[in-house]
Amino acid sequence: MAVLQPSRSRDLDKLLLRPGHLVGPSFEPGPELREDIKEYVKVLVVGAGGLGCELLKDLALTGFRNLDVIDMDRIEVTNLNRQFLFRLDDVGKPKAEVAAKRVMERVNGVNITPHFCRIEDKPLDFYSDFSIIVLGLDSIEARSYINAVACGFLEYDSDDTPREETVKPMVDGGTEGFKGHARIIIPGTTPCFECTIWLFPPQVKFPLCTLAETPRTAAHCIEYAHLIKWNEVHGGKSFDPDNPEDMQWVYSEAVKRAELFGIPGVTYSLTQGVVKNIIPAIASTNAIISAACALETLKIVSGCSKTLSNYLTYNGVEGLHTKVTEFVKDTDCLVCGPGILIELEKSITLKKFMGQLEDHPRLLLTRVSVTHRGNNLYMQAPPILEEMTRSNLDIPLFDLMGGLARDIIHVNGMSGKGDKKQSCLRKLRVAFKGVDGVADIDMAGGA
C-alpha cells in the first residue's frame, strides 16, 4: 500500500483526500485531484488592490499553482495601510507585478504571471484560457465587462440548455468598509452580474448649481475643480484619474475653492476618493471576503463541497453578521442568456450590420468591434488592427462568417444613451434569411 506524502496543508487534504456528505456528483477524492489542481487549473485574478492582494495569497496557499493577475494601477502611498504585499519602496510600481513577485517569494512552487494593463486591452482568447476567473474589483463597470466576457463564451444547445464545456465560472468579491460580499456566477445557471445589477446603488451626484454657487462640503469643492474648473482651464483635454499630475491639479484647485468658502477637510486622499469614487477599505474585511472567495473557488474546481447559493453578505459594523441569499437568474438577460436573435439578409455588409446595432432598441451600440469564433472581423482599436480589418467593412457578413446559416458573434462597443454610455460586450445570435430553412422572424422587440 502506497504511503501518502504529507502535504503542507492538513486542512486542504481533509477536503480533497476523503469523501463527504456535501460533495459534488463528480468529486473523486485522492492525491491525484490535489495534483491536478496544481498542474492543470489556471486562475485569473482581476484586481491587485486590497482584496486582490488577499486573493493572490489565499489562492496560492489553497494549492493553486498557475495564477495570473491583471491590474492597470500603480502603487500609491495611500495603498500601504491595507494592501499588505506592498512596501514604501514600491510606490509608483505596477500593482500586478509587485503583488505577483511578493507572493511567489513567500509561497514555493506557485507561478503568477502579472499583466499591467486595462482589462479591455486583452483579447477574448486571453480570458478563454482560464479555468475560473476571480474578481477583486471596486468598479461596477469593470465587473460588468468581465461578466460579459465570461458569459460571452457560454453556448446553448438547440433546447437553450447551457453546454457545460463552454461555462466559464466566476467568483466575485467586494468590500466597502466593514461590509462585503462574495458570490459565485455560473453562467447559464446562476444569475450573472447584470441579472442583479440593481443590487448596486447609483453613485452620488451633486447638482452643478450647488458646486458652482453654494458649496457646503469638501466633496463639493473637489467636484467643482474636477467637473467645472478643469474644463474651463483645459478645454478639450480629458481628465485622467490615473494621472498623478491631473489629480494633483484638481487637489490644488479644490484647496483654493475650500479656502475661498471657509470649508475644511480637503485632502489629497479625499480628492482621490471623490473623483475615483473610492470606498474606504478595511484590511480585516478584505481578509474575510477573500477567504470566502478562495474557498468557493476551490469548491467549484474540485467539487469537494456544495457551493454558495449564491450570494453571501458580510456585515461587521456591529458584531458580525453573515447571510446567504439565493438570487434567481433573469431568463431574459442580455448577457448570460442565449443571446439576442437578429435576422439578416445575406447581402448585408459588415458596415451596414454595425449601423443596425446602433439603432437596435436592446443594444444601442456605437464604436463597435466584431468577432466571430475568435476571428476579428472588425476592430476599432488599436490602429494597426483597425487598418488590417477595415477592408472587411464592405464584405457581406454572411461571407465573413463562412456561409453559415446561423451562428454566434460577439460585438464590443459603447452602449447606452447620452452621457450614460459604458463599454460592454454582447452576444448575438445571427440568422440569415432564406438559408437552411431560416424563416422570417419579427424583430420589432429585438429577440
Active-site amino acid positions: 209
First-residue to last-residue Cα distance in the chain: 61
> In this structure, what is the dihedral angle of CA atoms 57, 61, 67, 72, given to the nearest 10 degrees?
0
Q: Give the strands of the sheet with 311-315, arranged side by side.
A: 111-115, 66-70, 42-46, 132-136, 170-176, 179-185, 311-315, 321-325
Instruction: Give yes or no for a cis peptide into 79 (omega within 30° of 0).
Output: no
CB-CB neighbours of 341 under 10 Å: 15
Q: Please report, as a single letter, which amino acid is at residue 155.
A: E
Q: Is 245 helix (H, G, I), strand (E, B) or coil?
A: helix
- Could you tell me which of 230, 229, 224 has the C-alpha nearest to residue 209? 224
Q: Which three cell numbers stand for residue 357?
A: 446595432
What gap in Å lies between CA 276 and CA 348, rounded to an integer?
42
What are the backbone dihedrals phi and psi of residue 394, each rounded to the nearest 5 degrees, phi first? -95, 10
H runs (alpha helix) in 313-410: 350-359, 383-389, 397-400
